[in-house]
Structure 1
Amino acid sequence: MLGLKISFCTVAMNRLHHLRQTLPVNIADNLSYGNLEFVILDYNSNDGLQDWIRETMHPQIKSGILKFFRTDEPKLFNRSHSRNMAFRLGKGDILCNIDADNFTGPGFADYINKIMQNSPDTFITPSFHIRDIIGKLAIRRADFWGYRGYNEEITGYGFEDIELYKRLTKYAKNQHQFSDKQFTRAIYHSNEERVSNEFISVNSAHIFVRYINPDSSELYFLYKDGSFEFATFIDKQHLPVIMLERAQLDNMVALERPFQSGFWKYGDQFIQLFKPGTKGSKLKFSNNRKYIYNNRLGIKLYEITSTELKNEMILLKTEVENRLGLSALLSKPLHEINSGGFGLGSVIRNFQFPVKLEKCL
């Protein structure tokens, strides 16, 4: 008996180096299933991805096993929007997100079909929170549409998948979790790659940290457009119980209050920060330019110059913010999720056929 049609959907923005390793293997590992397709969405890459697909994967496109789409519209990466686009382009009964650095594993299509045939109200995810595979979701096409896809209010890195999983379980969908080693392989990569195409990474001019006490530090993110954001991060292990309850979705780090914003500018040997309701504070550069300070205010901000540490701070900021917003998002009525449409945009299919993804009623 022919199984349910499965669409393995992969979004790539400058991830050719990963797809070279995963895509041929993933096709070979599931080809025997028969009733499936691989949907690749090139989310405006500039690393030669479409040329590699054209030159290397022509037989797979000709056979119909591979569908290649490209959009030139996005300037920055957006996980929720890009995955919604890819899922909308898939024609399968089952839509499955496979990140560019993920291997499906041999027989994953057969595994998905067996679970879905036996449990119609089920969606499938990994059973543990390994960062590189947590987004490996298989969901019925009807449920993707009925429960309104990934929430496009969530920007930055983290929790767009968790929010969708929690929303599905909220509406009585069953979550089947797998832990088989053959289905949980992924290519290790740096945090820099995780955030390299996102706003906060592309537009950061400076990141400063201010020590407050052993449990608290203030982070400042200064952007190239002259704006900045700042907040105090707290080690939750030492919070009073009442504050711990308030910050329970925040893992081991909490914010004293939501990020505040202001604007900044360079001066002669100083940076001036304008916080809300202030005339601005001048912070001088140290002689070795490792920190800026204002002795009168008792402020000293150390600049984070290590690429690795900068990317850790970017991840920390976006994950904490998205985690903090989960409760509010999950309390929204379903009809308010992506009420303006989701996965909207224009793509070219197989290098020549234009496709317009418009708002559906």
Structure 2
Amino acid sequence: MGLLKISICTVCMNRLHHIMQTLPANIENNKDYPEVEFVLLDYNSSDGLEEWVKDNMDIYLKSGVLKYYRTEEPAFFDRTHSRNLLFKLATGEIISNVDADNFTGIGYAAYLNEVFSNNNDIYVVADTKKRYYFLRNAFGRFACQKKDYLSIGGMDETMKSYGSETIDLYERLSNLGRKEYVIRNTNLLKAISHADEERIENEFFLKNIDRFYNKYLSYDSSELLFLFKDHSYEKCKIVSELVETHLPATLLEGSLEKGTWSEDGENVRLNNSKNYKKSDNGRLTESDNNDGAFYQIDDARFLQNVAKNYSFIVNNDKLIQNKKDKSLVVNGESFGKGRVTYNFETLVNIS
């Protein structure tokens, strides 16, 4: 049996400080495996990633072991779309996600070749049960056959933000008949430790939030209202999670509402219908409704925690729905679309 072609894939948006440490080390630690490629997708970084690759990675680009793609289309980091685009660019039989802060360790590509050569009905993960907290920065590591990934429509692109998007992918790979294979060698799972806030700082929520309001409903429930700079909004009710999970709360079924908002003097309108009156103390009260006011919260640290937890809650709601539906394929007929430049000069359209 010949060697499998392995694609070690990394997407990066403004994480140059991590790529500088991990990418050269990962290439050097796997260059002895003859059928490996490193695919780096620069997801519209503005921190000098392109210049650094030009100045420091030329030898790897010329040898073909490194393939560099850049897209200038996204304004925000979208973890599902970016991965789908990334894996469609990969040419290997086996694709492996390796986050920008992850070290593969020595011989990772050879390890994947051995594992998949002996088991053709698996997908490889780090630790889906989150049993080992010291591996938390490697939870995004996974590998599978590219044909399997494409056959289920990749990651669910309705799950835009941080949380549950890989678990949903694993559920659907399982529905395809693939079995979970856990990496036991922790030398292959080293990562740069950093705060959770850095994981979401380039995403839509934090970069586009205009105002956040909370309405207290009871000791274990609240109503949240998010007004974004692009004049979209999201409103929902959250309640205590009755099942033991990692989530602080869950969406009240049927309460998630999305639309557009406008502002006129002292009035805020949702979908040009519901009218809310602003007051000097930061309150927002719905006209002809006496069930309480929304209070504006603008503490930056608190907002970061809300952004992280809210994305988990919304994504988990979609995960539960996909489980109920026993979904196999998501995204319809098209996913991971985008226009990229290959190695600084060749334009490629992915549909």
Q: What's the TM-score bracket when you normalise by the shorter of the two chains?
A: 0.7 to 0.9
Residue 283 of structure 1 corresponds to 278
Residue 254 of structure 1 corresponds to 250
Shift, 1:84, TM fit: 1.5
Shift, 1:347, TM fit: 1.5
Distance 2:23 2:349 in 1: 26
Distance 2:193 2:106 in 1: 19
What is the letter of the counterpart of residue 308 of structure 2?
Answer: L
What is the letter of the counterpart of residue 99 of structure 2?
Answer: D
Q: The residue matched to 2:29 in structure 1 has which SS?
A: helix
Distance 1:273 1:298 in 2: 17
Residue 165 of structure 1 corresponds to 170
Correspondence 1:292 to 2:292: no
Residue 241 of structure 1 corresponds to none
Q: The residue matched to 2:277 in structure 1 has which SS?
A: strand
C-alpha offsets along residues 117-165 of structure 1, whole Å, 9 cap, x if unaligned? 1111111001243553222111112222223222223222222211111
Bigger CA drift: 348-357 or 40-49?
348-357
Correspondence 1:12 to 2:12: yes
Alpha-carbon spacing, 1:167–1:146, altered in 2? closer, same or farther (3 Å): same
Aligned residues: 342
Alpha-carbon spacing, 1:332–1:170, altered in 2? closer, same or farther (3 Å): closer
| TM value normalised by structure 2 | 0.88
C-alpha offsets along residues 239-291 of structure 1, whole Å, 9 cap, x if unaligned? xxxxx5xxx888441122332246555566x5x344579652313122xxxx4
Shift, 1:190, TM fit: 2.9
Bigger CA drift: 45-54 or 150-159?
150-159
Runs of 4+ in 1 over 6 A off after TM superposition: none
Residue 347 of structure 1 corresponds to 340
Correspondence 1:37 to 2:37: yes
Shift, 1:305, TM fit: 2.5
Residue 316 of structure 2 corresponds to 323
Correspondence 1:62 to 2:62: yes
Shift, 1:183, TM fit: 2.3
Shift, 1:177, TM fit: 1.1
Shift, 1:87, TM fit: 1.1
Q: The residue matched to 2:137 in structure 1 has which SS?
A: coil
Q: The residue matched to 2:20 in structure 1 has which SS?
A: helix
Shift, 1:10, TM fit: 0.5
Name which of 121, 134, 139 aligns with 2:144. Answer: 139
Q: The residue matched to 1:280 in structure 2 has which SS?
A: strand
Shift, 1:319, TM fit: 1.4
Bigger CA drift: 274-283 or 10-19?
274-283
- Any conservation in 2 of the 1:7–1:38 contact (CA below 8 Å)? yes
Q: The residue matched to 1:207 in structure 2 has which SS?
A: strand
Name which of 232, 236, 241 aligns with 1:236. Answer: 241
Alpha-carbon spacing, 1:147–1:297, altered in 2? closer, same or farther (3 Å): closer
Percent identity, aligned pairs only? 36
Distance 2:161 2:224 in 1: 17
C-alpha offsets along residues 145-201 of structure 1, whole Å, 9 cap, x if unaligned? 223222223222222211111001112111101243212222233333222222222
Distance 1:225 1:348 in 2: 28
- Any conservation in 2 of the 1:191–1:308 contact (CA below 8 Å)? no
Shift, 1:348, TM fit: 1.4
Distance 1:319 1:220 in 2: 16
Correspondence 1:105 to 2:105: yes
Alpha-carbon spacing, 1:307–1:184, altered in 2? closer, same or farther (3 Å): farther
Distance 1:304 1:76 in 2: 23
Bigger CA drift: 129-138 or 8-17?
129-138
Residue 299 of structure 2 corresponds to 306
Root-mean-square deviation over aligned CA pairs: 2.6
